[in-house]
Amino acid sequence: MLPIVYRPNLAAVTGRNTTINLSSPNDPVTATNLPFDANGNLSVSRSLPRGAGFGVATAYQPVRTMQIQVRFSF
């Protein structure tokens, strides 16, 4: 038996939402598309890739696969 350290389903983030929407030019510190509300609770609609808020992951690395070929000869 060969010991193999392998994690095929490890999700690696390859893209994030890097656009921040500000409420107005006069108030450059209030973002309107954060994944959290004013109380610090997660906003479900902005925590998914489809409607991602600022900094939320939008793309992942494809799943890795591994093939093993074993031959026996007698």
Of the candidates 45, 54, 63, 61, the residue with the CA atom closest to the CA atom of residue 16? 54
> Which H, E and C letters describe 3-62, residue by residue?
CCCCCCCCCCEEEECCCCCEEECCEEEEECCCCECCCCCECHHHCCHHHCCCCCEEEECC
Tokens standing for 40? 């610090």
Question: One digit per residue, pLDDT tens: the chain, 74 residues?
Answer: 455 555 556 678 888 888 888 888 888 888 888 888 888 888 887 777 777 888 888 888 877 667 778 889 98
Paired residues of 27 in beta bridges: 24
* pLDDT at site 8: 58
User: Taking a C-beta distance cutoff of 8 angstroms, is the pair 67, 7 a contact?
Assistant: no
* pLDDT at site 3: 53
Model pTM greater than 0.75? no
